Structure 1
Amino acid sequence: MEPNGWHRSTVGELCELINGNGFKPADWAEEGLPIIRIQNLNGSADFNYFAGIPNPRWVVMPGDILFAWAGTKGISFGAKLWLGPKGVLNQHIFRVVAKTVVDTGWLYEALRTVTERVENQAHGFKATLLHVQKVDITEQLLLVPTLSEQKRIASILSIWDQAISVAGKLLANSLQHKKILEAGLLSGRKTILGFGPWTKKRIGDFIEESRLAGSTGDIAKKLTVRLYGQGVIAKSEKRQGSESTKYYKRLAGQFIYSKLDFLNGAFGIVPCSLDGYESTLDLPAFNFKKNVDAQWFLKFVSRESFYNSQLGLANGGRKARRVNPKDLLDVKVDAPSYEEQQEISRILVAADREVEILRRQLDFLKQEKKALMQQLLTGKRCVKFHEPEVA
């Protein structure tokens, strides 16, 4: 049952969805109106331009609502509020024009719920790439409140959007600060007062390979490594190997990498929860030697500039072949003292912690707003409105 004063309406009854134009390279110019494409909905300011006389139906103004009917789930697909310059609309994007008097802010939020609904119902030709028909959008039902209620709902949700925007900017700044710190401290370009110069060492001065015999044949506790230094994970399903397949136990705290994905940055440290899990020698494991800070070492080798510089370790190039432990251990690097490793690790771990806190805060705000939207846009929670007191 609808709340008092509300009514049900399909998107098609409420809005007209006007498709963009299929601009071809021959239509592009050096100046004119920017052509708004999917990539521009993702934040790109790289435009092609149209210098001709546009059909008024293609023209997009700042503040217009757009709906990308082909795009990546959770990124470019669905409702977008265009805040960029006046432009002309490319194909695969609808311009949303209300057929009746509605609050733009409310309509945008309502279409965001439609976006999620369509994403859940659609089946793209790739897992996250969606391509829907207009009817998949226009037949979606909406609960439409009174205009005054729409305005109040939009006002409340805009406050949450502002908070989310601030949290997003804080996270972006923290990520940039962390990136600058890592680039300086892990390369030696940024020095810490009180420590001596870096010295030339072998990777083998920090770690040594471990080969603790494990199972043969079937194994139910297998390790794998996430790419780009994101850590070690486990696959606990039973895996069948031949009797000649040898597995080796991996212990908590060991450094581990993928021979095949070394040049993509596949490194990690085995966490306590995966102590005793096993892998073949495709995922070699190493014990740390004395006076080595494990977190510093992981960050040091996980830098793209480090593993990119080791292309010669893999016979056949980046995509082709393995990086063997012996070759890795012989790599020479400039490295700080143990005491400076600890200080670098402390600084970067603190930066990681700050990023994680800000990311959680942003996720929390998004989830809270989503929950509030479900309440406000369905009438389950009414907005209390107090008339101003008359003196």
Structure 2
Amino acid sequence: MSVAKLSYDYNDYSFPEDWEEYRLSQLLEVVERPVDLTDDQEYDLITIKRNFGGIESRGKLAGERILVKSQFEIREGDFIISKRQIVHGACAVVSKKHEGATVSNEYDVMNCNNRVLPSFFDYYVQLPFMRRFFYIASDGVHIEKLRFKTRDWLRQKVRVPSIIEQQKIVKVLSTWNRAIELEERLISEKKQQKKWLMQNLLTGKKRLPGFTEGWQDIRLGDICKNVLGGGTPARNVKGYYKGNIPWVTVKDLDGAKQKYDSIEHISLDAIRQSASKIIPKGNLIVSTRMGLGRGFINMVDMAINQDMKGIILNSTSVSTEFIFYCFIELGNYLERLGNGSTVKGVDLSTLLNLIINLPPLPEQTAIAEILSTADREIDLHEKQLEELKKQKKALMQLLLTGIVRVNAQEVS
């Protein structure tokens, strides 16, 4: 790759002199392939995910059950825009997997001509100025109700490289895509392995070498020193929310096993004047409402609101990490126990009566360490995935604007 000479001012970017300028209408053509729905025939329906997340199947549906009768066939290589969601990046190129599926008249279906490759354009539309083009070609007073004006959008001008250079750019970016897909597949496998470990190690179905003592069914309440509830300080007292004490709500439950901070913070006065309690570090904070079966170990002192409980365990007989994994594994069971018509919750009595199959402390510690190792591996791969995505995004900015040019020998 080589750094290009830049001379063309194009709002956010400068493009190389040898890149051609076109209106989008000179690169794309709206196509319509009407589908004559038959009541008893099934049709593949798709949707387009936001933030350039690609196409997702909605499954098959018989013609008589499709409410919007204006349906159109899509083919491999088509560029599709969701007219009501395009300001959120809902557009994609059709892959072979979705060849022959149908979309309603809420979508624009377009063909790329011989000046632009569909695979190149799929990347190109993700540039910030292209996202702005989508926005300024949309009308409405509410972001979720904007209506896309296709003709206005097609009048916008862009600059693109030759087909040969487009092919080279796509080849480079495809390498990053493959690396990202591989990392995502690896993460999925690691999570499946961890799930298997939890289902087998936490129930005693699989025993670790060297452990033979029996397990006991114990009430959670029998291994707790204390269970603390929480509360919400008055919102109209601004000083309450300008403190430095982390205050945990269900918004903080992101799947992490350990937490050092929270989204919101409150003052000591806020705790004194409310039902919120401080949970000393090293204990288990769990949700008893809106997300049953989720929790974490607080690594610093934290206050909680009324949807959370702080479980102070008997440290001489119980591993906090082991109970954390047990609580996560019991998530589906807790959901069934939950009551409430809109938001399910469990009361303190139900929580304390949870039965946990408890091995001796040394085996608890060993099991928790194995599961913690699995968590660390997943976390490492997720960080690697984020780094790959950042690298790809940075490379896209450079290649798709011509700041960095791709030489033939580098992609041969």
TM-score range, shorter chain: 0.7 to 0.9
* 2:111 alignment counterpart: 97
Which residue pairs with 2:219 in the alignment?
202
* CA–CA distance in structure 1, aligned partners of residues 95 and 160 of structure 2: 23
Cα distance in 1, alignment partners of residues 191 and 86 from structure 2: 24
Moved more, 296-305 or 38-47: 38-47
**What CA distance in whole angstroms lies between the structure 2 residues aligned with 1:7 and 1:38?**
33
1:145 is displaced (CA, Å) by 0.9
CA–CA separation in structure 1 for the residues paired with 2:207 and 2:86: 43
Shift of 1:176: 1.9
Per-residue deviation, residues 85-124 of structure 1 (Å, max 9, x unmatched): 5314312333321244333322222234377546777799
Contact 1:29 1:48 in 2 (8 A): no
Matches within 5 A, 1:5-84: 5-18=18-31, 27-30=38-41, 34-38=43-47, 42-44=55-57, 46-48=59-61, 58-71=72-85, 77-84=90-97
How many positions carry a matched residue from both structures? 370
Aligned to 2:355: 332
1:237-296 superposed Cα distances (whole Å, 9 cap, x missing partner): 5699698634422211122234434x6234222222xx2x43456533232211322122
Q: Distance in 1 between matches of 2:223 and 2:99?
A: 58
8 Å CA contact retained: 2:80, 2:109 = yes
Which residue does the alignment assign to 1:175? Answer: 191
Contact 1:6 1:143 in 2 (8 A): yes
8 Å contact from structure 2 (residues 319, 365) kept in 1: yes
- CA 1:179/1:282 → structure 2, altered by over 3 Å: closer, same or farther? closer
Structure 2 residue matching 1:84: 3-state secondary structure: helix
Indicate conservation of the 8 Å contact 1:36/1:87, yes or no. Answer: no
Unaligned runs of 5+ in 1: 52-56
Which residue of structure 2 aligns with residue 146 of structure 1?
162
- The letter of the residue matching 2:99 is K
Shift of 1:298: 1.0
CA contact (8 A) 2:221 2:352 kept: yes
In structure 2, distance between residues paired with 1:282 and 1:212: 8
Change (3 A) 1:319 1:156: closer
User: What is the CA-CA distance between 1:380 and the residue it aligns to?
Assistant: 0.8
Q: Which has the higher contact order (CA 8 A, sep 6+)?
A: 2
- RMSD after superposition: 4.0
Q: Verify the 8 A CA contact 2:79 2:109 in the aligned structure 1.
A: yes
2 CA distance for matches of 1:43 and 1:83?
13
CA displacement at 1:203 relative to structure 2:
0.5
Alignment partner, residue 283 of structure 1: 308
CA distance in 1 between partners of 2:134 and 2:322 (Å): 42
Residues 306 and 295 (structure 1), Cα distance of their counterparts in 2 relative to 1, 3 Å cut: farther
Q: What TM-score, normalized by structure 2, do the two folds share?
A: 0.74
**Partner-residue secondary structure (3-state), 1:236:** strand
For residues 197 and 145 of structure 2, what CA distance do their matches in structure 1 show?
36
On the 8 A contact 1:62/1:86 being kept in 2, the answer is: yes
Matched residue SS, 1:286: strand
2:5 aligns with: none
Correspondence for 1:353 among 367, 372, 376? 376
Whole-Å Cα distance in 2 between the matches of residues 126 and 189 of structure 1?
54
Q: Does 1:223 align with 2:247?
A: yes
- Whole-Å separation in 1 of the counterparts to 2:140 and 2:319: 46
Q: Which residue of 2 aligns with 1:300?
A: 326
Q: Secondary structure at the match of 1:284?
A: strand
Q: State which of 229, 235, 252 in structure 1 corresponds to 2:264.
A: 235
How far did residue 363 of structure 1 move?
1.7
Match of 1:29, SS state, is coil
Following superposition, the deviation at residue 18 of structure 1 comes to 3.2
Given that 1:67 and 1:95 are in contact with CA atoms closer than 8 Å, whether structure 2 keeps it comes out as: yes
2:136 matches 1:108:
no
What CA distance in whole angstroms lies between the structure 1 residues aligned with 2:410 and 2:187?
39
**Displacement, 1:162?**
1.9
8 Å contact kept, 1:38–1:71: no
Q: Which residue identity does 1:255 align to in structure 2?
A: L
Measured in 2, the distance between the counterparts of 1:206 and 1:72 equals 53
Number of the residue aligned with 1:270:
298
Question: What amino acid is aligned across from residue 373 of structure 1 in structure 2?
Answer: M
Please report the TM-score for the alignment, with normalisation by the length of structure 1. 0.78
Distance in 2 of aligned mates of 1:189 and 1:124: 58
Helix, strand or coil at the partner of 1:16: strand
Aligned-residue offset at 1:320:
5.5
- Sort the Cα spacing of 1:17 and 1:280 in 2 relative to 1 into closer, same or farther, 3 A: same
**Aligned partner of 1:307: which letter?**
L
On the 8 A contact 1:224/1:235 being kept in 2, the answer is: yes
Change (3 A) 1:129 1:253: farther
Write the distance in 2 (CA, Å) between the matches of 1:336 and 1:144.
65
Three-state SS of the structure 2 residue aligned to 1:38 is strand
SS of residue paired to 2:204: coil
CA distance in 2, matches of 1:95, 1:333: 55
Q: Are the equivalent residues in 2 in contact too, given 1:265–1:302 (CA < 8 A)?
A: yes
Shift of 1:300: 0.7
Deviations 1:289-344 (Å, cap 9, x if unpaired)? 11322122111112223423533xx5x577365522x4422333322222221122
% identity of equivalent residues: 22
